[in-house]
Structure 1
């Protein structure tokens, strides 16, 4: 039995990179949601932009999770 250490390293690097990216995008979504619900200022533009940011970030996270599930479950191939 032989282990392809290069391939294992690539898979590890991609997994860590994607995990960090998804966490960062989710954090930006929470930040946008906080801006949308902020009761301090009456600027409607900030609330709309915050809500749009949250929706886009959470949609991106959901897309990555759905793609990962698609790769894992053989019935989706």
Structure 2
């Protein structure tokens, strides 16, 4: 039995980077929502909410793409 260590390391690296990126996007979304609550009712609150929703949309798109890759 031969193990392709380069391929295994590549899969591990891509998985690690993808995990850190998705968690980072989700955290940015949570921070945006918390800033929206503490911001004044001006344009900064709407900008924080829009940024948070964009981060959550990117997380959802990445997860949906991953599920598509598994199913297809």
TM-score of the pair, normalised by structure 2? 0.91
5+ unaligned residues in a row in structure 2: which ranges? none
Residue aligning to 2:57:
59
Q: Shift of the alpha carbon at 1:42?
A: 2.7
5+ unaligned residues in a row in structure 1: which ranges? none
Q: Secondary structure at the match of 2:65?
A: helix
Q: Secondary structure at the match of 1:37?
A: helix
Number of matched pairs: 72
Mapped pair 1:49 → 2:41: no
Residue aligning to 1:6:
6
| Runs of 4+ in structure 1 over 3 Å off | none
Instruction: Return the structure number with greater helix share.
Output: 2
TM-score of the pair, normalised by structure 1? 0.86
Task: Summarize deviations over 1:16-57 as a string: whole Å, max 9, x none.
Answer: 01000100110000011111122xx53411100110111100
